[in-house]
Homo-oligomer: A and B are copies of this chain.
Amino acid sequence: MFALVNTRPAHAPGILGRLTAHHASFISSEFHYRKGTEIYGENEPAEYVYQVVSGAVRSYKLLSDGRRQIGAFHLVGDIFGLENDETHRFTAEAIVDTNVRLTKRVCLERVARVDPAIAHNLLIMTNSNLRHAEDHMLLLGRKTALERVAAFLLEMDRRLTGVDVVALPMCRRDIADYLGLTLETVSRALSKLHAFGALNFLGSNQREIMLVDRDQIARLNA
Protein backbone atom coordinates (compact mmCIF):
# COMPACT_ATOMS: atom_id res chain seq x y z
CA MET A 1 0.00 0.00 0.00
CA PHE A 2 1.27 3.46 -0.77
CA ALA A 3 1.29 6.26 1.70
CA LEU A 4 -2.12 7.80 1.91
CA VAL A 5 -0.97 11.29 2.48
CA ASN A 6 0.14 12.82 -0.72
CA THR A 7 3.77 13.55 -0.16
CA ARG A 8 6.53 14.33 -2.54
CA PRO A 9 9.16 13.20 -3.28
CA ALA A 10 7.69 9.75 -3.59
CA HIS A 11 10.32 8.08 -1.47
CA ALA A 12 9.15 10.02 1.56
CA PRO A 13 6.36 7.81 2.90
CA GLY A 14 3.24 9.39 4.32
CA ILE A 15 2.42 8.88 7.93
CA LEU A 16 0.59 5.72 7.02
CA GLY A 17 3.47 4.05 5.32
CA ARG A 18 4.24 2.05 8.41
CA LEU A 19 0.70 0.75 8.67
CA THR A 20 1.09 -1.36 5.61
CA ALA A 21 2.14 -4.43 7.53
CA HIS A 22 -0.96 -5.00 9.57
CA HIS A 23 -3.49 -4.16 6.86
CA ALA A 24 -3.34 -7.33 4.89
CA SER A 25 -5.95 -6.11 2.48
CA PHE A 26 -3.65 -3.37 1.23
CA ILE A 27 -2.22 -5.23 -1.66
CA SER A 28 -0.70 -2.83 -4.11
CA SER A 29 0.84 -3.59 -7.45
CA GLU A 30 2.70 -1.54 -9.99
CA PHE A 31 1.75 -0.89 -13.55
CA HIS A 32 3.21 0.81 -16.58
CA TYR A 33 1.36 3.06 -19.02
CA ARG A 34 2.86 4.17 -22.30
CA LYS A 35 2.78 7.81 -23.27
CA GLY A 36 -0.71 8.81 -24.35
CA THR A 37 -2.56 5.76 -23.09
CA GLU A 38 -5.71 5.95 -21.01
CA ILE A 39 -5.58 4.81 -17.40
CA TYR A 40 -9.30 5.09 -16.82
CA GLY A 41 -12.21 6.84 -18.46
CA GLU A 42 -14.81 9.27 -17.23
CA ASN A 43 -17.85 7.45 -15.82
CA GLU A 44 -16.06 4.13 -15.66
CA PRO A 45 -16.39 2.24 -12.40
CA ALA A 46 -13.69 3.44 -10.01
CA GLU A 47 -11.96 0.19 -9.27
CA TYR A 48 -8.52 1.38 -8.30
CA VAL A 49 -6.77 4.29 -6.67
CA TYR A 50 -3.43 5.26 -8.15
CA GLN A 51 -0.14 6.85 -7.21
CA VAL A 52 2.38 8.16 -9.71
CA VAL A 53 5.73 6.45 -9.26
CA SER A 54 7.35 8.01 -12.30
CA GLY A 55 6.05 10.05 -15.20
CA ALA A 56 2.99 12.30 -15.25
CA VAL A 57 -0.76 12.03 -15.75
CA ARG A 58 -3.50 14.39 -16.93
CA SER A 59 -7.11 14.22 -15.70
CA TYR A 60 -9.68 15.80 -17.94
CA LYS A 61 -13.31 16.16 -18.90
CA LEU A 62 -14.58 16.48 -22.45
CA LEU A 63 -17.54 18.31 -23.90
CA SER A 64 -19.51 16.59 -26.63
CA ASP A 65 -17.73 18.52 -29.38
CA GLY A 66 -14.26 17.68 -28.10
CA ARG A 67 -13.44 20.74 -26.04
CA ARG A 68 -11.28 19.54 -23.19
CA GLN A 69 -10.70 20.82 -19.69
CA ILE A 70 -7.79 19.32 -17.78
CA GLY A 71 -8.65 19.48 -14.10
CA ALA A 72 -5.25 18.48 -12.76
CA PHE A 73 -1.83 17.15 -13.57
CA HIS A 74 -0.60 14.32 -11.39
CA LEU A 75 3.14 14.28 -10.83
CA VAL A 76 5.51 11.91 -9.11
CA GLY A 77 4.15 11.05 -5.69
CA ASP A 78 0.62 12.27 -6.39
CA ILE A 79 -2.35 10.08 -5.66
CA PHE A 80 -5.21 10.23 -8.15
CA GLY A 81 -8.39 8.43 -9.10
CA LEU A 82 -9.66 8.70 -5.55
CA GLU A 83 -13.26 9.70 -6.18
CA ASN A 84 -15.04 8.59 -3.00
CA ASP A 85 -17.54 7.56 -5.56
CA GLU A 86 -18.52 4.57 -7.63
CA THR A 87 -17.33 6.06 -10.91
CA HIS A 88 -14.48 8.23 -12.12
CA ARG A 89 -15.34 11.82 -12.82
CA PHE A 90 -12.37 12.37 -15.12
CA THR A 91 -10.49 10.54 -17.80
CA ALA A 92 -6.88 9.92 -16.82
CA GLU A 93 -4.10 9.53 -19.38
CA ALA A 94 -0.37 9.09 -19.13
CA ILE A 95 1.32 12.23 -20.48
CA VAL A 96 4.64 10.44 -20.81
CA ASP A 97 5.67 6.87 -20.06
CA THR A 98 4.43 6.46 -16.53
CA ASN A 99 4.60 3.97 -13.70
CA VAL A 100 1.81 3.88 -11.15
CA ARG A 101 1.10 1.90 -8.05
CA LEU A 102 -2.50 0.94 -7.59
CA THR A 103 -4.74 -0.30 -4.83
CA LYS A 104 -8.30 -1.52 -4.99
CA ARG A 105 -10.65 1.21 -3.96
CA VAL A 106 -12.92 -1.11 -2.03
CA CYS A 107 -9.95 -2.31 0.03
CA LEU A 108 -9.10 1.24 0.87
CA GLU A 109 -12.66 1.92 1.90
CA ARG A 110 -12.86 -1.25 3.95
CA VAL A 111 -9.75 -0.29 5.86
CA ALA A 112 -10.96 3.27 6.23
CA ARG A 113 -14.11 2.03 7.92
CA VAL A 114 -12.16 0.44 10.76
CA ASP A 115 -9.15 2.73 10.89
CA PRO A 116 -10.05 6.33 11.70
CA ALA A 117 -6.57 7.53 10.84
CA ILE A 118 -6.91 6.26 7.28
CA ALA A 119 -10.42 7.62 7.02
CA HIS A 120 -9.09 10.96 8.12
CA ASN A 121 -6.44 10.85 5.48
CA LEU A 122 -9.02 10.25 2.79
CA LEU A 123 -10.71 13.41 3.96
CA ILE A 124 -7.44 15.33 3.97
CA MET A 125 -6.73 14.29 0.42
CA THR A 126 -10.20 15.06 -0.86
CA ASN A 127 -9.99 18.40 0.87
CA SER A 128 -6.68 19.11 -0.76
CA ASN A 129 -8.16 18.34 -4.18
CA LEU A 130 -11.04 20.64 -3.34
CA ARG A 131 -8.72 23.49 -2.46
CA HIS A 132 -6.90 23.09 -5.74
CA ALA A 133 -10.15 23.10 -7.67
CA GLU A 134 -11.33 26.22 -5.84
CA ASP A 135 -8.15 28.08 -6.68
CA HIS A 136 -8.39 26.91 -10.25
CA MET A 137 -11.94 28.23 -10.56
CA LEU A 138 -10.62 31.67 -9.73
CA LEU A 139 -7.92 31.30 -12.35
CA LEU A 140 -10.31 30.08 -15.04
CA GLY A 141 -13.04 32.55 -14.28
CA ARG A 142 -11.12 35.74 -13.70
CA LYS A 143 -7.46 35.73 -14.67
CA THR A 144 -5.94 36.95 -17.93
CA ALA A 145 -3.91 34.71 -20.20
CA LEU A 146 -0.61 36.05 -18.88
CA GLU A 147 -1.72 35.65 -15.28
CA ARG A 148 -2.81 32.08 -15.93
CA VAL A 149 0.49 31.11 -17.48
CA ALA A 150 2.39 32.79 -14.65
CA ALA A 151 0.29 30.90 -12.11
CA PHE A 152 0.93 27.68 -13.99
CA LEU A 153 4.67 28.18 -13.94
CA LEU A 154 4.67 28.91 -10.24
CA GLU A 155 2.56 25.84 -9.55
CA MET A 156 4.89 23.64 -11.55
CA ASP A 157 7.92 25.24 -9.99
CA ARG A 158 6.52 24.38 -6.59
CA ARG A 159 5.47 20.84 -7.46
CA LEU A 160 8.31 19.72 -9.70
CA THR A 161 11.34 19.32 -7.55
CA GLY A 162 13.81 20.18 -10.26
CA VAL A 163 16.78 22.26 -9.30
CA ASP A 164 16.25 25.74 -10.68
CA VAL A 165 14.79 24.54 -13.93
CA VAL A 166 11.19 23.48 -14.47
CA ALA A 167 11.09 20.43 -16.74
CA LEU A 168 7.53 20.28 -17.97
CA PRO A 169 6.30 16.84 -18.95
CA MET A 170 3.31 18.18 -20.89
CA CYS A 171 2.93 19.86 -24.28
CA ARG A 172 1.54 23.33 -24.93
CA ARG A 173 -1.87 21.96 -25.74
CA ASP A 174 -2.11 20.26 -22.36
CA ILE A 175 -1.12 23.48 -20.63
CA ALA A 176 -3.72 25.33 -22.67
CA ASP A 177 -6.46 22.86 -21.79
CA TYR A 178 -5.49 23.15 -18.16
CA LEU A 179 -5.61 26.95 -18.25
CA GLY A 180 -8.69 27.38 -20.43
CA LEU A 181 -6.67 28.86 -23.30
CA THR A 182 -5.40 27.80 -26.73
CA LEU A 183 -1.93 26.48 -27.28
CA GLU A 184 -1.04 29.55 -29.33
CA THR A 185 -1.99 31.85 -26.50
CA VAL A 186 0.11 29.83 -24.07
CA SER A 187 3.04 30.00 -26.45
CA ARG A 188 2.66 33.74 -26.85
CA ALA A 189 2.46 34.27 -23.10
CA LEU A 190 5.63 32.25 -22.58
CA SER A 191 7.37 34.23 -25.31
CA LYS A 192 6.29 37.43 -23.63
CA LEU A 193 7.66 36.25 -20.28
CA HIS A 194 10.88 35.38 -22.06
CA ALA A 195 10.99 38.84 -23.61
CA PHE A 196 10.42 40.32 -20.16
CA GLY A 197 13.48 38.47 -18.94
CA ALA A 198 11.42 36.47 -16.49
CA LEU A 199 12.42 33.09 -17.85
CA ASN A 200 14.74 31.27 -20.23
CA PHE A 201 14.23 28.21 -22.39
CA LEU A 202 16.79 25.47 -22.11
CA GLY A 203 15.89 22.22 -23.88
CA SER A 204 15.53 21.76 -27.58
CA ASN A 205 11.78 21.38 -27.27
CA GLN A 206 11.18 24.44 -25.09
CA ARG A 207 9.85 22.36 -22.20
CA GLU A 208 12.69 23.09 -19.87
CA ILE A 209 12.21 26.51 -18.42
CA MET A 210 14.44 28.36 -16.06
CA LEU A 211 12.57 30.86 -13.94
CA VAL A 212 14.96 33.76 -13.83
CA ASP A 213 12.76 36.26 -12.04
CA ARG A 214 10.25 34.50 -9.82
CA ASP A 215 9.19 37.77 -8.22
CA GLN A 216 8.21 39.24 -11.53
CA ILE A 217 6.22 36.14 -12.37
CA ALA A 218 4.59 36.20 -8.97
CA ARG A 219 3.58 39.84 -9.46
CA LEU A 220 1.92 38.91 -12.73
CA ASN A 221 -0.11 36.31 -10.90
CA ALA A 222 -2.59 38.97 -9.74
Contacts and interface: CB of A to CB of B under 8 A. Distances in A.
Contact of A63 (B83, B143, B177, B180): B143
B137 A222 contact: no
A171 B22 CA distance: 56
Interface string A185-222: 00000000000000000000000000000000000001
Interface residues of A, number: 38
Interface string A47-75: 00000000000000101110111010000
20 contacts: A61-B134, A63-B143, A63-B222, A67-B143, A67-B222, A69-B138, A71-B134, A84-B123, A85-B131, A113-B116, A116-B119, A119-B120, A119-B123, A126-B126, A126-B127, A129-B130, A133-B133, A133-B137, A137-B140, A141-B179
A27 interface: no
A83 B124 CA distance: 10
A68 B123 contact: no
A159 interface: no
A67 B61 CA distance: 26
A141 B84 contact: no
Given A84-B124, A123-B119, A124-B84, A141 B65 contact: no
Contacts of A2: none
Contact of A89 (B64, B85, B134, B222): B134
A172 interface: no
A69 B142 contact: yes
Contacts of A137: 69, 71, 133, 136-137, 140
